[in-house]
Amino acid sequence: MDNFMRNKGFVKAVCLICLVAILGIDPLFAASDKSPRGIPTNFEIIERISAETVREIISGMGTIRQEGVVLLNKTKGAGSVDFVLENAFVRDMRDAGIKVAIEGPKKDEAVVGSGNYRLSYQIVRLAVSYPRISRTWWLGSKHVARAAQADVFVQFIDLATGDIAWVKEIHKEYNDTIDYSKLKLVEEAQYDFTRPARSEFRMTKLLEPLVVGGIVVGLVYLFFSNQSSK
């Protein structure tokens, strides 16, 4: 009889532990995640690959004539994200001791006349995306794969001679994986390009509720069947 009672107590304990694990542990861990320490935001990732792109461009330009001015001429953009790359151009080129001026769509003769070089560039791609959203285990917490790419086509022209001194298509990328619960911390409401689409539909979205429901019903049944057998 004592063994029987001990077995019933063991079954009840196992049932309660399983219920807590299924219904409580995952949300508890998610709630405890308050800070993305060490995790760059999506905006910071765009800044990082933009800066890497500009540094490669500067290294490819070679020696600039003293007092030379480089006209930045954007011939194609990727959208509202363009300003991040443009800021990197101005900041990093000035840090490198290069004088720059922005050449707008409408040619300002005074600006064009002051230039010795033209850096013409097309932003083919500058974006962050979530290529995969999945779980570590079937019922485990979600993880998000992040990918960012910068593709910029560049022509560097010596205006004194009209020669195209340098042409290159530059590619930079960034990849990492973060917890799904961190998404609200790495995205920024004021910048749409930091909030890429989330393609989360999986067949498991249909199966998981059925499986979890079946497990819960089974555990509840075991619990109360042991209660009624006292």
Predicted local confidence at residue 203, as pLDDT:
47
DSSP label of 25: I
The pairs formed by 105-109 with CB atoms below 8 angstroms and a separation of 24 or more are none
Q: How far apart are CA 172 and CA 49, in angstroms?
A: 6
Predicted local confidence at residue 64, as pLDDT:
85
Q: How far apart are CA 126 and CA 51, in angstroms?
A: 12
Predicted local confidence at residue 205, as pLDDT:
56
Predicted local confidence at residue 215, as pLDDT:
75
Q: pLDDT tens digits, the chain, 230 residues: what are they? A: 455 445 555 555 555 555 555 444 444 444 333 335 689 999 999 999 999 999 999 999 988 888 889 999 999 999 999 999 999 999 999 999 999 998 876 665 555 555 699 999 999 999 999 999 988 666 668 899 999 999 999 999 999 888 999 999 999 999 999 999 999 999 999 999 999 998 765 545 555 666 667 677 777 767 667 666 65
Q: How far apart are CA 127 and CA 122, in angstroms?
A: 14
Predicted local confidence at residue 25, as pLDDT:
44
Nearest of 119, 120, 117 to residue 159 by alpha carbon: 117
Which two three-digit tokens encode residue 167? 């042409």
Predicted local confidence at residue 110, as pLDDT:
52
Q: Is 143 left (phi over 0), alpha (psi -120 to 50) or beta?
A: beta
Nearest of 69, 85, 52 to residue 158 by alpha carbon: 69
85's CB contacts (< 8 A; 6+ apart) are: 50, 53, 54, 123, 126, 150, 152
Predicted local confidence at residue 35, as pLDDT:
39
